[in-house]
């Protein structure tokens, strides 16, 4: 109080200076108080409780946390992997090798005392377990997003975002998660982006309130990336930070002196392509879903879905054909909510089947894909799938063209010139599905050049 009285007694300029000092004192006190409450797992020096340069004891702890994931991925025991107690470094190295260099650690409570009713998962990506490259916190992962789940993800992201701002200031960049991009990130100047990115020394902090992974689902995620170790680290840094933000401490990122190169090994896509060209496509990992014991014939699944028709009578009557199919694709989450999340597969089949009756190529593709890839709980029927996919492809659906090209290349269609037909379909769908059709076309060209 005495300090405030002294401020009032001084002249204008001095009064302003003293007031500024007092305000600065108050703000620093508030910041200091808030920093005491910061979630320790958010610190870039040991994010999510993992050391960037682990000691032997740290490695033993990591190996213990990864046991369940390693056994699941490898389908072999701890003893077969070498044993945690014998050599945790070798154990983790073997586990990372068989799991494409990404392992799940363990489930944890939501960060910051968030009261959500779901646990979170921790993942580690590394070539050498003694030098982790990326750590990721996954929260509320599911195949689709209900309103309640989306709100829960947003609430958890808000807690983390507020604390990261207190620690590291405003984000260096905002954008979106890019599943097929080399850096996994796409910067954007548009408002209301789901992802924030901070560069803190040689670490990238990547927070997404929602990120979508094709065929796998949606989740809230928080990743810590060693930009100086990741092969894509320099490219990601240059995507995120403009030249004015580049400082001497970023030398290791820009020089790439410490980059840990990925070993030259076949990716899952390489293996699937090999199966495709050798006539073993249906035995590849692409069809794991088809091994489930509770799958049903398409006709039976469609009949079961008819029970939901009264819920959507007005919607089904107001739209036709392709318009109905597009309405379903764009409003799937809302429609699922109306019927109940557990009925989402029935909702899909109801709308798709109605659109098929009205001649929608997109809906025909969905029926064909359901019978080929066993979506929506449908039992595989390759011949029936081909019939629907051919109709959808003739109607101009690019996804159906891609599936038909795969069927031709896999020797699953009758008639001559299968490879020529596949190439024509890939050329036709390349404009709309650049990555999928373009990638398969590239692989086909490389394969033919080696023949």
pLDDT digits (tens, 9 = 90+) for 381-432: 999 999 999 999 999 999 999 999 999 999 888 777 889 999 999 999 988 8
**Assigned token pair, 136:** 């990721």
**Predicted local confidence at residue 30, as pLDDT:** 47
**245 Cβ contact partners less than 8 Å away, ≥ 6 residues apart:** 172, 199
- Alpha-carbon dihedral of residues 6, 8, 11, 13, nearest 10 degrees? 90
Within 8 A by CB and 6+ apart from 444, the residues are 409, 419, 422, 423, 426
pLDDT band with cut points at 50, 70 and 90 for residue 69: confident
Mean pLDDT of 361-377: 93
Segment among 60-69, 252-261, 288-297 with least mean pLDDT: 252-261
How do residues 151-167 score in pLDDT, each as one tens digit?
899 999 999 999 999 99
Would you say residue 266 has pLDDT above 70? no
- pLDDT reported for residue 6: 42
pLDDT, mean of residues 222-249: 83
Q: What is the mean pLDDT of residues 328-344?
A: 85
pLDDT at 76 over 50: no
Higher pLDDT, 245 or 342: 342
Which pLDDT value is given to residue 224? 97
| 102, β-bridge pairs | 125
- More confident site: 77 or 110: 110
d(CA 318, CA 106): 48
Mean pLDDT in residue range 37-61: 92
**CA–CA dist 301, 376 (Å, integer):** 8
| pLDDT for 364 beyond 50 | yes
pLDDT at 168: 94
Query: C-alpha 279: how far from its chain's center?
Result: 30
- Mean pLDDT for 57-76 is 76
| 232 vs 280, residue with greater confidence | 232
Work out the burial of residue 410: count CB atoms within 10 Å of its CB; fewer than 13 is exposed, 13-18 middle, 19 or more buried.
Answer: buried
* Residues 186-195, mean pLDDT to the nearest whole number: 86
- DSSP code at position 175: E
Give the residues across from 436 on adjacent strands: none
Segment 129-138 mean pLDDT: 94
Residue with tokens 């879905």: 305
CA Rg, the chain, in Å?
Answer: 27
Q: What's the pLDDT band for 451 if we cut at 50, 70, 90?
A: low
What is the rounded average pLDDT for all residues in the chain? 82
Q: Identify the band that residue 29 occupies on the pLDDT scale cut at 50, 70 and 90.
A: very low
In this prediction, residue 37 carries a pLDDT of 74
d(CA 225, CA 259): 12
Residue 405's pLDDT is what? 94
CA distance 286 to 289: 8
The pLDDT, as a whole number, for residue 32 is 41
pLDDT (mean) for 278-282: 81
What pLDDT does residue 314 have?
Answer: 92
Report the range of poorest mean pLDDT among 59-63, 179-183, 326-330, 418-422.
Answer: 179-183
- Residues in Cβ contact with 19 at an 8 Å cutoff, skipping those fewer than 6 apart: 7
260 or 301, higher pLDDT: 301
**Residue 117 pLDDT greater than 70, yes or no:** no
Examine the pLDDT at 115 and tell me if it is beyond 90: no
């Amino acid at each position: 109080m005495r300090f405030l009285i002294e401020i009032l007694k001084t002249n204008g300029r001095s009064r302003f200076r003293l007031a500024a000092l007092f305000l600065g004192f108050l703000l620093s006190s508030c910041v200091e108080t808030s920093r005491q409450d910061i979630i320790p797992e958010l610190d870039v020096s040991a994010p999510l409780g993992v050391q960037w340069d682990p000691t032997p004891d740290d490695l033993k702890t990591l190996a213990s946390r990864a046991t369940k994931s390693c056994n699941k991925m490898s389908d072999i025991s701890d003893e077969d992997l070498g044993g945690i107690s014998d050599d945790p470094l070798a154990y983790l190295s073997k586990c990372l090798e068989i799991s494409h260099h990404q392992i799940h650690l363990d489930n944890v409570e939501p960060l910051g005392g968030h009261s959500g009713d779901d646990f979170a998962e921790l993942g580690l990506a590394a070539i050498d377990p003694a030098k982790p490259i990326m750590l990721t916190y996954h929260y509320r992962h599911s195949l689709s997003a209900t309103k309640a789940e989306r709100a829960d993800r947003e609430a958890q992201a808000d807690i983390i975002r507020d604390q990261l701002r207190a620690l590291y200031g405003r984000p260096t960049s905002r954008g979106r998660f890019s599943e097929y991009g080399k850096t996994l990130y796409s910067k954007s100047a548009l408002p209301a982006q789901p992802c924030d990115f901070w560069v803190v020394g040689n670490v990238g902090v990547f927070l997404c309130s929602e990120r979508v992974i094709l065929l796998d689902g949606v989740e809230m995620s928080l990743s810590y990336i060693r930009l100086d170790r990741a092969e894509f680290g320099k490219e990601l840094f240059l995507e995120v930070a403009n030249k004015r933000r580049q400082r001497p401490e970023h030398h290791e990122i820009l020089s790439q002196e410490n980059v840990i190169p990925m070993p030259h090994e076949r990716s899952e896509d390489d293996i699937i392509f090999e199966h495709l060209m050798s006539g073993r496509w249906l035995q590849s990992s692409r069809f794991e879903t088809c091994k489930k014991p509770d799958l049903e014939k398409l006709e039976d699944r469609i009949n079961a879905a008819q029970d939901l028709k009264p819920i959507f009578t007005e919607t089904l009557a107001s739209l036709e054909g392709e318009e109905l199919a597009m309405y379903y694709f764009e409003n799937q989450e809302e429609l699922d909510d109306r019927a109940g999340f557990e009925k989402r597969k029935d909702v899909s089949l109801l709308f798709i089947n109605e659109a098929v009756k009205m001649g929608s190529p997109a809906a025909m593709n969905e029926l064909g894909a359901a019978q080929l890839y066993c979506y929506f709980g449908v039992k595989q029927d390759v011949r029936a799938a081909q019939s629907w996919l051919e109709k959808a492809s003739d109607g101009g659906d690019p996804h159906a063209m891609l599936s038909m090209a795969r069927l031709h290349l896999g020797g699953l269609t009758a008639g001559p010139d299968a490879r020529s037909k596949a190439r024509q379909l890939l050329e036709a769908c390349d404009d709309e599905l650049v990555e999928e059709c373009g990638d398969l076309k590239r692989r086909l060209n490389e394969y033919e050049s080696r023949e």
